[in-house]
Amino acid sequence: MFLILTATAAIITTIIWYAKAPDNKYRLGTLSLIYWGATMMWLVDHILAFILEGGPFFEFTLDATLLGITVVLVGLLAWLLILLIKDPKGVVLKSLRAK
């Protein structure tokens, strides 16, 4: 399930990034790459596990679902941290100057 969740997040963020492509203010390409990297990692993991161990290709367990949700949230958190550091609108800098 974590492969499906991260692939879905990657596809959605890629579509949003492409729609907003000329204006890269919010660095959606970075978020997209975070999710695509996780998706590729899970895909390789699933392929190797399927070849070496057999069994089902997808896991539909509660643990797999929670892992997928956690990965999507951590990717979002990493992107937000990058966004705060880059501060495209200058909001953080303005608030620091006001103090």
- List, as one string, the DSSP characters of the chain: -HHHHHHHHHHHHHHHHHHTTT--TT-HHHHHHHHHHHHHHHHHHHHHHHHHH-S-SS--SHHHHHHHHHHHHHHHHHHHHHHHHH-TT-HHHHHHHH-
* pLDDT per residue as tens digits for the range 24-55: 888 899 999 999 999 999 999 999 999 999 98
Give the mean pLDDT of the chain.
92
The residue among 65 and 96 whose pLDDT is bigger is 65
User: What confidence tier does 94 reach under pLDDT thresholds 50, 70, 90?
Assistant: confident
Q: How far are the Cα atoms of 35, 36, 59, 65, 85 from residue 28, in angstroms, in the given order?
A: 11, 12, 29, 24, 14
